[in-house]
Structure 1
């Protein structure tokens, strides 16, 4: 009887033990399933960190300015008699562009010239007669003074006549004509704009800290939205010897060749000045950098091949100034490591990830806009 009860108790223990083990196994599986549901793998895109020839640069925005540029106008008023240019013409310095009616002024000039010629004859006669004391020295002095005055009046009248003719003060390209034949022009009315386009200046501002990195003759590269993908080169021509006390910026002027006159005064320009010596640094796309109050960081992927699962790992980094779509990392990432460039929003340390690089955009140091 006792043996029979022992066997029954043993059987019951085995049954209850099996049930308990099954429940424990079930609980463990449920816990794992819940954990997997709470932290599912995140799909990310990655690139392999690689070293590149990197040089720091200063960036600024500026405007193009003509070496010589002016809105041409006349000092005198009058009726337009002749227009000797067409809109958009290229002209030489001193070339006549417009003539006002000046008949009255020319006639007055002729009269003054005749008077001066008469005074010249009188003076010459006095100089001959004074040898024989036929005239006094006072008479000769008076006639000389009259001759000088007459010649001065001629010069004055010639200046008045010249003011009726508009001439190009320097060589360049004319703008659009703003007057018509027979129109009355008041003094100072703009006739046409004249711009000297080759070479051309670009003016921009840099913070005062940049003064130690720039010098006269240093190469400058500019880009304009008008010609996407093109880069125009020049050299620093002048650095303002005064720093603006409000902004603490200094004005810099670069000169660049413009033989085809594609760059025009007033255009907006993006300026890039290479400074320092080139270095071999690890570079990654700019989208890899995640900023937070504690500093910049990136997510690296450990233990994953292409299109396979892996684990994300945070790494705080030190960076240089960005160039285009890329940025150099001086500390925190080694060459050959997988760097997440998209999909970081839900990542944490040790987050499981799945790599999908089917649509990874190209990151360039000097990206260009392509019209499609």
Structure 2
């Protein structure tokens, strides 16, 4: 009796198993997703630090006047290149010059009195105290001359250094107050490029290191300079370090305030495994790529195996070719260069990875490859005008 019950239970279990297997086999498999692919390449790569910088003048100032006055003459034109010491603006100084002449006359009179009293001292007609008073009076008069001469000099505004003048609306007859801006003066050759780099890259920086920069104003043209200063302090808010480079600008093409892309070569040329940066998926748990490979044939006796004898049959797509699948692989990335990114760990040269369309995939998804449209993979891309 017990044997019959066990046999019945076994028969029911086998029937249920076969039913479940048939249902699983009947479930339609997901359609392959269309993706584009790229091959992992080993390239000669110059490691670089990249940054965004701003151009600043080596010397730059908004020129103003120390004293108020009426503009008599403007000796420059907007945009003119001037040398250090060049006279730029003259203010009316007639009354100041008259006071200077008066002070000079008073100093001359004090010198005459001192000379006369010194002669009288020789015959003891005056005391030594008188000579001392005359000497001090002469010094005071000469100091007044120097003071008034300085006032007159302030009425002539000169270029403190060589450079290019900006645009001004200053005209003769205009009254200016002390501190009013007259014109800007900028030194353009050389010019500074100021930029910041993460503190992790500080060990690769050194004064004298060569930098290359480009500006959108002159696409395809590169400018060369050298690092002349590295800040001794890391910004506690951004953890970046400020770097300053001096860039040669003989044609005066670069102007203060321009936005610049800065590149610094680090070390020698090295071999790197590279991929288009679009192939990498960034997740909180790590960076991944999808490696394209042929699907393994189903095991004997499993659902979907061909033949009643359970012999293995390779998985195939409708075209008869082996089915491709995407396998998710964790990787460690390195520096980027243009559209490319270097791979430090996780891949080998020659492997094929998904370069676009991976947002539709999960580990093991079947794929079909269509490389008619490929993402860019240029180490030095340039803007394309349309």
Query: What interval of TM-score do these two structures reach, taking the shorter chain for normalisation?
Result: 0.7 to 0.9
Q: Which residue of 312, 318, 342 maps to 2:326?
A: 312
- Residue deviations 1:53-96 (CA, integer Å, cap 9, x gap): 23443333332211111110001001110000111111111111
Q: Which residue of 352, 363, 370 maps to 2:377?
A: 363
Moved more, 228-237 or 60-69: 228-237
Moved more, 338-347 or 192-201: 338-347
Cα offset, 1:277, TM superposition? 4.1
Aligned partner of 2:6 in structure 1 is none
Q: Which residue of 345, 368, 376 maps to 1:354?
A: 368
Aligned partner of 1:249 in structure 2 is 240
Aligned partner of 1:239 in structure 2 is 230
C-alpha separation between the residues in 2 aligned to 1:292 and 1:95? 62
1:173 aligns with 2:160: no
Residue aligned with 1:287, SS: helix
Q: Which residue of 86, 108, 117 maps to 1:117?
A: 108
1:274 aligns with 2:265: yes
Cα offset, 1:215, TM superposition? 1.5
C-alpha separation between the residues in 2 aligned to 1:321 and 1:214? 16
Cα offset, 1:325, TM superposition? 0.8
1:345 aligns with 2:359: yes
Q: Which residue of 329, 334, 339 maps to 1:325?
A: 339
Provide the TM-score with structure 1 as the length reference. 0.83
Residue aligned with 1:154, SS: helix
Residue aligned with 2:377, SS: coil
Residue aligned with 1:88, SS: coil
Moved more, 243-252 or 187-196: 243-252
Provide the TM-score with structure 2 as the length reference. 0.81
Equivalenced residues, count: 341
Aligned partner of 1:53 in structure 2 is 44
Name stretches of at least 5 consecutive residues in structure 2 with no aligned partner: 1-20, 296-318
Cα offset, 1:364, TM superposition? 1.7
Q: Which residue of 61, 83, 86 maps to 1:95?
A: 86
- Residue deviations 1:22-69 (CA, integer Å, cap 9, x gap): xxxxx99x967x63xx42232222222211123443333332211111
Name stretches of at least 5 consecutive residues in structure 1 with no aligned partner: 1-26
1:259 aligns with 2:250: yes
C-alpha separation between the residues in 1 aligned to 2:233 and 2:35? 51
Structure 1 stretches of at least 4 aligned residues deviating more than 6 Å after TM superposition: none
Q: Which residue of 57, 75, 90 maps to 2:66?
A: 75
C-alpha separation between the residues in 1 aligned to 2:355 and 2:198? 32
Residue aligned with 2:367, SS: strand
Contact 1:112 1:150 in 2 (8 A): yes
Residue aligned with 2:171, SS: coil
Cα offset, 1:233, TM superposition? 2.4
- Residue deviations 1:150-169 (CA, integer Å, cap 9, x gap): 11111000100111111111
1:59-208 matches, within 5 Å, as 59-208=50-199
C-alpha separation between the residues in 2 aligned to 1:340 and 1:52? 19
Contact 2:278 2:375 in 1 (8 A): no
